[in-house]
Structure 1
Amino acid sequence: MSIKSFAAGIFASYVRNRINKWAENPHATQEKVFLQLLKKGADTKFGKDHHFQNIKSYQDFTKQVPVRDYEELKNYMDLMVSGEEDVLWPGKPLYYAKTSGTTSGAKYIPLTKDSMPTHIEAARNAILCYIHDTGNSKFVDGKMIFLQGSPELQEKNGVKLGRLSGIVAHYVPGYLQKNRMPSWDTNCIDDWETKVDAIVEETVREDMSVISGIPSWVQMYFERLIDKTGKKVGEIFPNFDLFIYGGVNYEPYRAKFEKLIGRRVDSIELYPASEGFFAFQDKQNVHGMLLQLDSGIFYEFIEADKFFEENASRLLLKDVQIGVNYVMIISSTAGLWAYNIGDTIQFTSVKPYRVIVSGRIKHFISAFGEHVIAKEVEEALQEAVKDSQAAISEFTVAPQISPDDDELPYHEWFIEFEKEPQDMDHFAGVIDKAMQQQNSYYKDLIDGSILQRLKITKLPPNSFQLYMKSIGKLGGQNKLPRLSNDRKIADKLNEII
């Protein structure tokens, strides 16, 4: 065991003990964060406009500060981006994480001197919790690759901006710099396919022990490695034993990854976003990610089924229940106040508080009132894959509201198979049965002959990569929506095939 590996084990125990202190005292921890945020934000424009000085309780806060998304906060965001200080948080942000907006064009999410360290600390702590949980620290001596956006940053009115993953690349600690790959120059390549080929050339002869990134783009990297060498990834990198991912559910990819690697490897799930680093998997054999309660983020929750109702109830952590679908609302040291990040989550545990990401409040299918969410389609597909031994590369689901020939409407599943099931009709039936078991609204629509059973459209290899390339979102941190309530993606896929 190297000195670095030994030291990592000691540090991991120290960090785990610190985490346990706040995880075991969640409500006091959140109350402390809430009061600190109000105090720090009181002299900002937002704080003055919302009379922070008069807020004495959480109830006061809900009356003074309504839930908003980016578009509804845009007046404040625009002032901040134009160069004004003390708008949402004291001073100017350190960075803007630039993301794609829905109706407002580009979104500029502030990262402040108070919020930026929490992103770095949470990512570090996820790895340290893994070391503490498993006793495995030997990987720190190998090479580590992080498939991410370009670290090259632009500037807007004196504040640097870029993709979150590119900003974070500037904060890799010194003791990992020699282990980190790819090189800076390769990381700055804009074209994703060119970048992946360059990464393959740089890494194929290295001792890779940790690989991190969004599963769909890591899969592309693995496939290029295999094309070049004719070997499984596990043969190319015999010491590769830890995959770190975030952004999407890994389970639909797991079987494919194990085939590409040639064996099962440990994995750590992260829940990072431009708005904050919210949770990470702290134990290998426990379902869900530990919600970060001591990272300058105050959480509220609204039941997803009631979110669009007027005056929907805002719940504190103490009010949540396991298995309920919630929209997560945050206030944070980034200067986001009662901010709807757009994600839906479910709690898997309340002692301590652990969550899974169940989807996006705007990514659902409810063309007929069925309220289908990403978690349901992912789990239904997993049931069918287990039943049939099929393998899936990628998929998405859309409603078909007006089919030809007087057919009943249905849900259309666009699936790119790595290995097709022997009986496609049976495969579709397993998915449909699992959907009905999970979603009573969907079942009622099937039973009432409002919908017919789902249909599967098989896509040729690389269809989803071609789609993402066609909309300028190939690679990096871009993710394909699992489902949508319209036919925009479906129509584009039909054009491609």
Structure 2
Amino acid sequence: MLNFFKKNAALVWAKKHVQKTAEFKKNSEKNQEALLLSLVKTAQKTLFGREHDFENIRSVKEFQEKVPVADYEDLKPYIERVKKGQANILWTETPEYFAKTSGTTSGSKYIPISKEGMPFQIAGAQSALFHYIAQKNNADFVNGKMIFLQGSPEMEEVFGIKTGRLSGIVAHHIPAYLQKNRLPSWNTNIMEDWEAKVDKIIEETEHENMTLISGIPPWLVMYFEKLTEKHGKKIKQLFPNLQLLVTGGVNYEPYRDKMEDLLGGKVDIIQTFPASEGFFAFQDDYTKEGLLLLTNHGIFYEFIPLEEYGKPGARRLTLKDVELHKDYALILTTNSGLWAYSIGDVVRFINKEPYRILVSGRTKHFTSAFGEHVIGFEVEEAMKAALEKHPAQITEFHLAPQVNPTEGLPYHEWLIEFEKEPEDLEVFRNELDHQLRERNTYYDDLITGNILQQLHISSLKKNAFHEYAKSQGKLGGQNKTPRLANDRKIADLLEIYKL
């Protein structure tokens, strides 16, 4: 009886929720400007607000004139003051949390999450599930066990501000009605050794009625592989009632074939776009490509055309100005005190009514040693198309330029860990090169003009990327190896894994 009640209650809540979201989908442009002016007004008396004349900002244009685009290094002096417990710096109060992330130039980053911002982190995930339930007209999964492959929920305090990984922070806010169904246990979740943690998760889940599993794709693959190796069965044989995978963090498409092979049966997929800075988008129609941009979740968005990003006078566009199928650097202003903040993600709009996006790359993850500016979306789509024509299974790959080869012209090197190689690797190489040329005219021009030779493929040993991540101390639920780079730092470290 209780299970029947939970399932039907979820269906009722889901349908009501989807009806409520219709308004923001229709009025995104208007709501976004009103949101920005509301954020500015709230923060007028903060240190940042006083320094940037918030009191006299009356429009998006005036905001853009007074507040430059910033990265973490630009905001770090303010965040350091917030870390010491000072209020009224970036936002009116000290944050409720700091989401601690690993940085590159900045070391660890401390991303503030305010009391106003935290509910939207939870609401984004809930909304994704409600849209799925309403569309599917099925909430059976709420009565089974659910697992979230995530970071440790243990937190430290920085001058009284609770600090930890975002996924660990979110673990403290999972609704009560889901807590009894949730795995793994607290003691397993707080384990720091990722390999040992996955082994323990398998012990706790392998004989349970798993219905929903969530995590970033490479770590879902790792969990599924260990399960299949242990039991000699596909995941749907082990978990016949598994209904739903919820993924985020990286593009799911390059993992789809591998995941389908491991699953061995039909499982629905919801892709999401969460980050420490906010929950930005989710797949509101699990049968179609694209993520619904959440324009009513305390975040004002700007978009810089990727080809202009980092250049003087780069245009800062709002929703009304964006074009379909163009790449934009994503800029955020949030109700946690991030102002015109460049998060480093690149998005591409595929729909405007409502606004739906694809995450097409990272501003710092590209290959342009020869002026080609190849981005993540292009290499992932090229790989997907090549695999469709010449079937193979890919565990992971990394693209890097080879500027000074021992002989011949420079080239792009693709370091690929194959689960199953294509029937003819040379034919596959030619197809992959062709597909990338189709997607990037600059790369095509370089090949045509004999500036570059065709790409090279270097096959890597099994578990190469796993061992590389382990050697760098980057095993864990939120870490992922960049798919491409503009130098050979990662490529050189992968040399020892070449076949």
Same fold (TM over 0.5): yes
Q: How does 1:265-414 map to 2 (within 5 A)?
A: 265-405=267-407, 407-414=408-415
Q: CA deviation at 1:286?
A: 2.5
Q: CA deviation at 1:243?
A: 0.6
Match of 1:451 in 2: 452
Match of 2:97 in 1: 95
Residue 4 of structure 2 aligns with an amino acid whose one-letter code is: S
**8 Å contact kept, 2:404–2:410:** yes
Matched, 1:22 2:17: no
Q: How does 1:458-497 map to 2 (within 5 A)?
A: 458-497=459-498
Cα distance in 2 for partners of 1:228, 1:360 equals: 36
Q: CA deviation at 1:251?
A: 1.1
Query: What does the per-residue CA deviation read over 1:27-69, in whole Å, with 9 as the maximum and x for residues that have no partner?
Result: 1211221121011111111001101001111111111100010
Matched, 1:430 2:431: yes
Q: How does 1:183-222 map to 2 (within 5 A)?
A: 183-222=185-224
Cα distance in 1 for partners of 2:137, 2:490 equals: 44
| Residues 309-318 or 191-200, more deviating | 309-318
Query: What does the per-residue CA deviation read over 1:331-366, in whole Å, with 9 as the maximum and x for residues that have no partner?
Result: 010100000000000001011000010000010000
Match of 1:418 in 2: 419
Match of 1:139 in 2: 141
Q: Taking structure 2 as the reference length, what is the TM-score of the superposition?
A: 0.98
Q: CA deviation at 1:496?
A: 4.2
Q: How does 1:35-54 map to 2 (within 5 A)?
A: 35-54=37-56
Cα distance in 1 for partners of 2:241, 2:459 equals: 36
Structure 1 residue matching 2:223: 3-state secondary structure: helix
Structure 2 residue matching 1:444: 3-state secondary structure: helix
Residue of structure 1 aligned with 2:116, choices 96, 114, 117: 114
Cα distance in 1 for partners of 2:490, 2:191 equals: 27
Cα distance in 2 for partners of 1:429, 1:265 equals: 33
Structure 1 residue matching 2:208: 3-state secondary structure: coil
Query: What does the per-residue CA deviation read over 1:436-485, in whole Å, with 9 as the maximum and x for residues that have no partner?
Result: 11100000000000000001010111000011111111021111111000
Structure 1 residue matching 2:172: 3-state secondary structure: helix
Residue of structure 2 aligned with 1:170, choices 150, 163, 172: 172
Cα distance in 2 for partners of 1:229, 1:103 equals: 43
Residue 222 of structure 2 aligns with an amino acid whose one-letter code is: M
Residue 418 of structure 2 aligns with an amino acid whose one-letter code is: F
Residue 402 of structure 1 aligns with an amino acid whose one-letter code is: N
Residue 339 of structure 2 aligns with an amino acid whose one-letter code is: W
Q: CA deviation at 1:94?
A: 0.6
**8 Å contact kept, 2:37–2:58:** no
Query: What does the per-residue CA deviation read over 1:54-96, in whole Å, with 9 as the maximum and x for residues that have no partner?
Result: 1111111111100010011111111111221111001110110
Q: Taking structure 1 as the reference length, what is the TM-score of the superposition?
A: 0.99
Show structure 1 runs of 4+ deviating over 4 A.
Answer: none
Q: CA deviation at 1:194?
A: 0.2
Match of 2:60 in 1: 58
**8 Å contact kept, 2:33–2:60:** no
- Count, aligned residues: 496
* Unaligned 5+ runs, structure 1: none
Q: CA deviation at 1:495?
A: 3.1
Cα distance in 1 for partners of 2:345, 2:256 equals: 23
Query: What does the per-residue CA deviation read over 1:89-121, in whole Å, with 9 as the maximum and x for residues that have no partner?
Result: 011101100111221111100011000000000
Q: Matched residues, percent identical?
A: 53
Q: CA RMSD in A?
A: 0.9
Cα distance in 1 for partners of 2:490, 2:352 equals: 37
**8 Å contact kept, 2:461–2:497:** no
Structure 2 residue matching 1:484: 3-state secondary structure: coil
Structure 2 residue matching 1:220: 3-state secondary structure: helix
Query: What does the per-residue CA deviation read over 1:125-149, in whole Å, with 9 as the maximum and x for residues that have no partner?
Result: 1000001111121111110000000
Query: What does the per-residue CA deviation read over 1:207-237, in whole Å, with 9 as the maximum and x for residues that have no partner?
Result: 0000100110111111111122111111000
Q: CA deviation at 1:285?
A: 2.5
Cα distance in 2 for partners of 1:131, 1:47 equals: 42
**8 Å contact kept, 2:37–2:59:** no
**8 Å contact kept, 2:460–2:497:** no
* Unaligned 5+ runs, structure 2: none
Structure 2 residue matching 1:108: 3-state secondary structure: strand
Residue 482 of structure 1 aligns with an amino acid whose one-letter code is: R
Residue of structure 2 aligned with 1:69, choices 44, 68, 71: 71
Residue 420 of structure 1 aligns with an amino acid whose one-letter code is: E
Cα distance in 2 for partners of 1:387, 1:380 equals: 11
Q: CA deviation at 1:245?
A: 0.2
Cα distance in 1 for partners of 2:189, 2:116 equals: 27
Cα distance in 2 for partners of 1:486, 1:75 equals: 30
Cα distance in 2 for partners of 1:287, 1:214 equals: 18
Cα distance in 2 for partners of 1:260, 1:193 equals: 19
Cα distance in 2 for partners of 1:109, 1:208 equals: 33
Residue 495 of structure 1 aligns with an amino acid whose one-letter code is: I
